[in-house]
Structure 1
Amino acid sequence: MTHAAAPPLPDAGPEPGILRAGLRNIRDMIRIEPKRFSIAVVGAMVNTAMQMSVAFIIGWVVSQVAVPAFENGEVGTGSVAIGVGALLGMSILRFSSMCARRIGSGTQMFQVQAHWRRQVTRRYLALPVSWHQKHPTGTLLSNANADVEAATRPLAPLPFACGTLFMLVLSMVVFFTIDWAIALVALGMFPALFTLNAVFASKMAPRAKRAQELRAAVSADGHESFDGALVVKAMGREAAETERFAGTAGELRDAMIGVGRLRAAFEPLIQGLPEIGTLLALLVGLTRYEAGAIGLGELVTVSFMFSILAFPIRAIGWVLGDLPTSVVGRRRVDGVLAATGDMAYGDRELDGTGPARLEFDSVAYSYADGTEALTDVSFTVEPGTTVALVGATGSGKSTLAHLAARLTDPTRGAVRFDGVDLRELTHRSLAATCALVQQIPFVFDDTVRANLALDREGIDDTRIWQALAAAGADKFVGDLEAGLDTELGERGTSLSGGQRQRLTLARALAGQPRLLVLDDATSAVDPKVESEILAGLKDSADAAGVLVVAYRRATIALADEVVFLEGGRITARGTHAELLETHRPYAELVTAYERAEAEREFDEETAA
């Protein structure tokens, strides 16, 4: 089974160098949570200062306590007490500052992740249906999860690295104060370490990008296979889907192995360089001590400082090592945030009550590739009337339904409610006026009550039961073990197709819309039940206008007017009886629909 590749997400800007892009990403994350970052950095700097102070205290203890004890055989009790007290105080401060650093950096990272996930989700919801149709759900899930996590990876070690930089500056001052030769060792080690990390980051960038893309591909393949589990099993495609997923997973494995190999080659060098610098500093220090340039206490202080620098310096390596992955993740997140195609809403509210008037005025619609789906379509759904859209597959019926609910906008012309262009209405007014029920019903993994109410104001149990009755769903919901509190499972898998359709119809009716658009929304319902439902909607006292995409003859016959579409154009209008008499293409299509429906019912009865 082959799958068309989704178009790549647009890049949010030029491709700067990894280091510059990584630092820009870090800057942006700090701006999101400056307070928590400040707490973490202050904690890291205090911790660093305490570590360096320990080096001085140990050097002082050696020169003022240990050496006199060996030389004179006497131990200064006061000096020992001072040393122990100082070390104890430093330990308490180190513990407190370490807690501040870790809590600050952890909460900052999780807050930034939550911030970007909210932004990505808002962007998804703002983008039109046409954009979502071009991007696999698995990839979008990866953008909101794996890519966000990748983008924020440097945040955890960042305060530690900032504290280390502070430590390096202080250390260089101390080294030059003690001895120039030891300071030169430090001056040679630190640039070498940064250069090594920069080379590592440049080589890691393409590998990290490939791995991140494959994570999204694995997520997309897995989501598609799991979401289409019924089709996969029904068509006997388990082995083929397993092989397809295994192929993508194998590519991800190879990419991750490549990342691991590069890390294996560089990380021993990155981790070993500070230790080599410590040994070299110790050798130089011993030489300078023997030459009388420094004292024993200074030698101990320098050696201890180099030893405590060896581990914190790795934090800088962790940040630099995470930069390529973070840059790739951030660019993929920015690709979503930079996606265009929003449909801006206006500021007008509809003042009327009761059924709304729907008007299509010279409407045309073209796809992104220029293919025209609708041409010069004009008709009206008068308040309280029912208009049926009839036509062969691809004639533009569903496109008109989407335009009526403003899931997309026309290329030319206008769609109006009560004389107001839909593009001028607020989102709230649009949603309150029109409800679209599609052929493929979507049910949330929640209770019946939650699925119908959707947290909309004013929808109580009384209104829910009224909507269920109007949709012919009150009986089966009443028979459920927990009634309105019944959990329906993911996509309502505990219900039949017809039950899901009636439930989604009830959801639309619960909002008391002034216009109802049904895109073959009762196709899975028994024809007799469907006729009863539509007749009930039409005859109710507060009947909304109904625009229905219809196939069944009994459904079409209920309409006040039929609009017949061919190739995106209206070629006939009138009542069902009039078109059967005067328009041969319409009569042939409806007869074909009726014959196909009769054959389907016969097959079902035979199978039973």
Structure 2
Amino acid sequence: MAGEWREQMADGAGAARTPTRGRVFTRGLYVLWTAIRTEPGPFGLAMFGAVLHATVTVGSASVLGYITSEIILPSLRAGDTTAAALWTAAGLLLGVGVLKATGLAFRRLFAGLMQYRMQAHYRRRVSHTFLRLPLAWHHRHPTGQLLSNAGSDVEAAWQPLAPLPMAIGTAYMLVIAAASMLITDLVLALVGFLVFPAIALLNYVYQHRLSPLATRAQALRARVSEVAHESFDGALVVKTLGREDAETERFTAAASRLRDAQIKVGRVRGMFDPVMEALPNLGVLVVLLVGVLRIEGGAMTPGELVQFAFLFTLLAFPIRSFGWILGDLPRAVVGWDRMQAVLTARGSTAYGTARLPAGQAPGGVAVTAEGVTFGYEDGYRDASGADRDGISAGDLGGGPDPGEGGTGPRTTVLHGVDLAIPPGRTVAIVGPTGAGKSTLASLLLRLVDPDSGTLRYDGTDLRELAKGEISRTAALVPQTTFVFDDTVRENIALGAPATDGEIWTALRLAHADAFVRALPDGLDSRLGERGTSLSGGQRQRIALARALVRRPRLLVLDDATSAVDPQVEEHILTGLRRADLAATVVVIAYRRSTIALADEVVYLEGGRVVATGTHDELTERVEGYRRLVTAYQRDEEQRAAEAAAGLRTEPTDVEESEAVA
């Protein structure tokens, strides 16, 4: 089974696929065997309880037969009984009950422990893999899909573990009950065993019908999670644009598809479970009819028939427990496949062993880019190869994620970019929307690797640097800032060994110290989810302080002060130039005031470096640059004029800061 699974994984390039209908059972057994190997202790204790419960349950048939033959029937014939006989019967039944309860407690407790441990273990593995995989992989998989991988997929994969010890224990009970039945009466045993071919046929039909339905339902769960996450994450946009009804309809459509898929699964299970319940009961009726005839013929006694009928009713419970396992296996295999699509995903960032010599460039790190080209993959696939409607590739036929192997269609964003930034310099990257500025920022921090070309710090290829070397050397302040639901101190330190003095220094450089001091608890003030208690400019300055407290040798600001008042922005950038930061600064900028502070300007257009030089030089000789900067300047002047005339009523970031103070 293990070899079969590895062949499938190798064949599919690590992507989840719909379980082949004929292999659901064997693949499901492999998933269960993985759990047994991982948690042998809890499984062994659960099996002890299951075997104890099964043994005592089968033994209770002999107890009932003994009580019937030796106590009940003699009492009925004599019309009287003794206290000793009653105490004997009560003691036997009580002993059986205590032993069964002990076995049941062990079985349920440790089966649940095993299940929850496996869920926790694989949630940690999936989450760790998310953090290990490069940003390019995350570009291909939406957040809602990843939440589903770490949530419902993990839960589905280990759902059969709860009834597993019971099923194995009852299989043992089935064997010893069948042996006891054969010893008690061979003819009745052969009649009763006719139920098993019917069960095998029923299971085959059930697996054939349920597997594709379970696969689709699991993919649609991920789609519902994705839509919900997008709606909640974009609550501000939804509210301000009055899109509540549209988002509700979008979620309703996804939820309705999931509902319909779940109903189809429920219908199949709804037909399967009653038939599984009915077959053993029909068998009991047949056994009783044949048994009465055999009693009349003198082939067996009433006590033996009671014992046999009880043993046969025990067969119904193993059959039902097998039904629970078989019912959960298709969904478990689908959940396992979707987890494995993450856990076996290729694209982890490879690191070298090179270190950047300290003090080689005291004014910052020298950055060079040679022939850098980069493109994003088009389209969307979730980790199971499903499209946005949750339909698996090939209409439930599976198939690799086109993003995993890098073979999908791509949109090239950067074309042969060359840069040479001396240490300690401030360089502004300017260009129209879609020019590739933010992509270049990601490449400079090695959040993604270029398709071709080389990026270097102080002459060392970024791919040759040891793990952690880039994060110790460079810091990025992205245009979309993220603030954690934590204190100001923890949001800025974020695991760095920074003292309060260093944090306040970083806040002063980011011009954030005034509003932080005005908060109720200063550095200990909690900022709320995503920093909802702060303005956009305040969040950007918190993010800037987070980068500055690490004293990077390369600081990349990706439009990181767009929500800050121009005067405050100028103070921040001027302070960065004057401070003893020993940093090279790369600023993705739009405002003329920001660009003017740079030593050099790089103008991007269509993913290519069109020109480099000072602001004045590019204004003179590059028409596109002149139009772009002039347009932004006119917009700023218009905003300033409207504010002076009282036509703009929203507060600036400076006014917000002064109001807080």
TM-score grouping bracket, smaller chain normalisation: over 0.9
Q: CA distance change for structure 1 residues 330 and 523 in 2, over 3 Å: closer, same or farther?
A: same
Alpha-carbon deviation of 1:319? 0.8
Please identify, of 332-341 and 505-514, the stretch whose mean Cα deviation from structure 2 is larger. 332-341
Name the stretch that deviates more: 60-69 or 199-208: 60-69
Contact 1:564-1:586 within 8 A present in 2 as well: yes
Q: Distance in 1 between matches of 2:282 and 2:13?
A: 45
Superposition map of 1:268-417 within 5 A: 268-353=274-359, 354=362, 355-368=364-377, 369-417=409-457
Aligned partner letter, 2:464 = E
Matched, 1:88 2:94: yes
Q: Following superposition of structure 1 onto structure 2, how do residues 481-560 of structure 1 map, counting pairs within 5 Å?
A: 481-560=520-599
Q: Distance in 2 between matches of 1:106 and 1:297?
A: 39
For 2:15, which of 11, 17, 21 is the aligned residue?
11
- Secondary structure of 2:420's aligned partner: strand
Distance 2:419 2:103 in 1: 72
The aligned runs of 1:25-104 (5 Å cut-off) are: 25-72=31-78, 75=81, 81-104=87-110
Q: Does 1:606 align with 2:647?
A: yes
Tell me the amino acid that sits aligned with residue 11 of structure 1: A
Aligned-partner residue type, residue 356 of structure 1: V
CA distance in 2, matches of 1:9, 1:555: 47
Post-superposition Cα deviations, 1:530-550, rounded to whole Å, max 9, x if no partner, equal 111111111112331111111
CA contact (8 A) 1:278 1:310 kept: no
Given the superposition, is the C-alpha separation of residues 303 and 15 from structure 1 closer, same or farther in structure 2, using an over 3 Å criterion? closer
Once the two structures are TM-superposed, the CA of residue 76 in structure 1 deviates from its matched residue by 6.6
Q: Is the 8 A contact 1:181 1:284 kept in 2?
A: no
* Alpha-carbon distance between aligned partners in 2 of 1:238 and 1:72, rounded to the nearest angstrom: 81
CA contact (8 A) 2:421 2:427 kept: yes
CA contact (8 A) 1:358 1:415 kept: yes
CA distance in 2, matches of 1:420, 1:295: 91
Please tell me whether the aligned partners of residues 537 and 543 of structure 1 are also in contact (alpha carbons under 8 angstroms). no
Moved more, 315-324 or 381-390: 381-390
Query: In the TM superposition, what are the counterparts of 1:123-142 in structure 2 within 5 Å?
Result: 123-142=129-148
Residues 10-19 or 350-359, more deviating: 10-19
Distance 2:529 2:602 in 1: 37
Letter in 2 for 1:381: I
Tell me how far apart the structure 2 counterparts of residues 602 and 161 of structure 1 sit (CA, whole Å): 78
| Contact 1:61–1:80 (Cα < 8 Å) also in 2 | no
Equivalent residues in 2 for 1:214-293 (5 A)?
214-293=220-299
| 1:124 alignment partner AA | F
The alignment's C-alpha RMSD in Å is: 2.2
- SS of equivalent to 2:193: helix
One-letter amino acid of the structure 2 residue matched with residue 606 of structure 1: L
CA distance in 1, matches of 2:203, 2:86: 43
CA–CA distance in structure 2, aligned partners of residues 396 and 66 of structure 1:
90
CA deviations over 1:214-257 (Å, ceiling 9, x no partner): 22222111221222122122222222222222222222222222
Equivalent position SS for 1:443: coil
CA–CA distance in 1 between the matches of 2:17 and 2:72?
62
**Once the two structures are superposed, what CA deviation does each residue of 1:442-500 show, in whole Å capped at 9, x if it has no partner?**
111222122112223x1232222121111111111111112222222221111111011
Aligned counterparts of 2:231 and 2:618: Cα–Cα separation in 1: 44
Deviation at 1:371, TM superposition (A): 3.7
Task: Check conservation: 1:43, 1:101, Cα contact below 8 A.
Answer: yes
**Residue 194 (structure 1) aligns with:** 200
Whether contact under 8 Å (2:174, 2:314) holds in the other structure is: no
**How many angstroms apart in 2 are the aligned matches of 1:260 and 1:364?**
51
Q: Residue deviations 1:115-171, cap 9 Å, x none?
A: 221122122222222322232212221121112112222111111111111111111
| TM-score normalised to structure 1 length | 0.93
1:4 is matched with none
Question: What is the Cα deviation at residue 571 of structure 1?
Answer: 2.5
Distance, in Å, in 1 between the alignment partners of 2:283 and 2:198 is 10
Distance across 1 between alignment mates of 2:28 and 2:598: 61
1:204-219 map, 5 Å: 204-219=210-225
Q: CA deviation at 1:389?
A: 0.8
SS at match of 2:551: coil
Aligned to 1:5: none
Aligned partners of 2:18, 2:460: CA distance in 1, in Å? Answer: 42
1:407-439 CA-to-partner distances (Å, cap 9, x unmatched) read: 111122211122221111223111111111111
- The one-letter amino acid paired with 1:153 is Q
Contact 1:468–1:503 (Cα < 8 Å) also in 2: yes
- TM-score computed with the length of structure 2 as normaliser: 0.86
Partners of 1:278 and 1:9 lie apart in 2 by 51
The alignment status of 1:586 with 2:595, answered yes or no, reads no
Identity %: 50
Helix, strand or coil at the partner of 2:468: helix
Match of 1:565 in 2: 604
Measured in 2, the distance between the counterparts of 1:316 and 1:359 equals 64
1:59-112 deviations in whole A, cap 9, x for unaligned? 112222223333456757666555444433332221121111101111111111
- Contact 2:553 / 2:581 at 8 angstroms: preserved in 1? no
CA–CA distance in structure 2, aligned partners of residues 254 and 302 of structure 1: 45
Distance 1:118 1:9, change over 3 A: farther
> Residues 434-449 of structure 1: matches in 2 within 5 Å?
434-449=474-489
* Alpha-carbon separation, structure 1, partners of 2:192 and 2:489: 68
Query: Do the aligned partners of 1:18 and 1:202 also contact (CA within 8 Å) in 2?
Result: no
Map of 2:29 onto structure 1: 23
Per the alignment, do residues 171 and 237 of structure 1 end up closer, same or farther by CA in structure 2, a change over 3 Å counting? same
Contact conserved, 1:9 with 1:336, CA < 8 A, in 2? Answer: no
For residue 6 of structure 2, what is the aligned residue in structure 1? Answer: none
- Is this contact kept in 2: 1:477–1:483, CA < 8 A? yes
Secondary structure of 1:606's partner? coil
Kindly indicate whether the alpha-carbon contact (under 8 Å) linking 1:270 and 1:314 is maintained by their aligned counterparts in 2: yes
